[in-house]
Amino acid sequence: MKQSSNVPAFLSKLWMLVKETHTNEFITWSQNGQSFLVLDEQRFAKEILPKYFKHNNMASFVRQLNMYGFCKVIHIDSGVVKQERDGPVEFQNPYFKQGQEDLLENIKRKVSSSKPEENKIRQEDLTKIISSAQKVQIKEETIESRLSELKSENKSLWKEVSELRAKHAQQQQVIRKIVQFIVTLVQNNQLVSLKRKRPLLLNTDGAQKKNLFQHIVKEPTSKSLRSGLNMYIFIKMMNYLF
């Protein structure tokens, strides 16, 4: 089989109508066979149409033609649209040509009302967009909240760091003063009464600790430690401390 089963009823009937000679008084091919003409619209509608279709309205016939992609051919005379009254009506479709019945299968009926779907899709899309926008907004609010918390925490932390640094500096000062106080005591020979003889430890492992001492005591300790005895007391204390 060729295409007859694939062609809608309307196209088959139209093809027959245009081709059949006994209807050529009302509907026939145009001179070049590229379109067809309806010669007497009123009689065609009332006498011919009901023989092929379930109506006798030209409007319904035209609706079907448009449905299948047929367009009315506008006649132009010298650049001016000239639609002569009661003249023939001409319709054309790129796949409706005289002698080329095989082209009919290319004519497709336009899908019925795709717009509702499009509108629905648009509404769905809008709904999705709005929904996701709300989610983004909520997320943003959450982040803003978290940001606010972090800022607050940060502020507290900076404050604590500042206070701790101050405390640290203060304690450093306290330690320095304590050591200086002891050094002063030693320098004033208030501990001379202690007469024990012990080896000077500074020469053995004091080198490493000297830096630590100097870091704490502004005054160089060397002056303070002339006496081996004072040095002994001092080193004992430092060993005790660090």
Partner DNA sequence: GGTTCTAGAACC
Q: Which residues form the interface with a copy of itself (CB under 8 A)?
A: 42, 46, 50, 56, 59, 85-86, 122, 126, 129-130, 132-133, 136-137, 139-140, 143-144, 146-147, 150-151, 153-154, 157-158, 160-161, 164-165, 167-168, 171-172, 174-175, 177-179, 181-182, 190-194, 237, 240-242
Q: Which is nearer to a copy of itself, 4 or 119 (CB)?
A: 119
146 binds, among a copy of itself, DNA, none (CB under 5 to 8 A by kind): a copy of itself
Min CB(69)–DNA separation in Å: 7
String marking each residue 24-53 x if it binds DNA according to CB under 7 A: -----------------------------x
Q: Among 24, 30, 60, 227, which residue interacts with DNA (rule: CB under 7 A)? A: 60
Q: Which residues of 170-206 are buried (b: 16+ CB within 10 A; e: fewer)?
A: eeeeeeeeebbebbeebbeeeeeeeeeeeeeebeeeb
**Quick check: 9 binds DNA (CB under 7 A)?**
yes
CA dihedral over 156, 157, 162, 167, signed as positive or negative: positive
Min CB(26)–DNA separation in Å: 17
Which segment (97-105, 111-119, 158-166, 216-224) binds DNA by CB under 7 A? 111-119
Q: Among 22, 54, 196, 197, which residue interacts with DNA (rule: CB under 7 A)? A: 54
- SS3 of the chain: the string is CCCHHHCCHHHHHHHHHHHCHHHCCCEEECCCCCCEEECCHHHHHHHHHHHHCCCCCHHHHHHHHHHCCCEECCCEECCEECCCCCCCEEEECCCCCCCCHHHHHHCCCCCCCHHHHHHHHHHHHHHHHHHHHHHHHHHHHHHHHHHHHHHHHHHHHHHHHHHHHHHHHHHHHHHHHHHHHHHHHHHCCCCCCCCCCCCCCHHHHHHHHHHHHHHHCCCCHHHHCCCHHHHHHHHHHHHHHC
**Quick check: 130 binds DNA (CB under 7 A)?**
no
138 binds, among DNA, a copy of itself, none (CB under 5 to 8 A by kind): none
Min CB(103)–a copy of itself separation in Å: 29
Q: Which is nearer to DNA, 6 or 173 (CB)?
A: 6
Contact positions toward DNA, by CB under 7 A?
A: 8-10, 53-55, 57, 59-60, 62-64, 66-67, 69-72, 74, 81, 83, 109-110, 112-116, 119
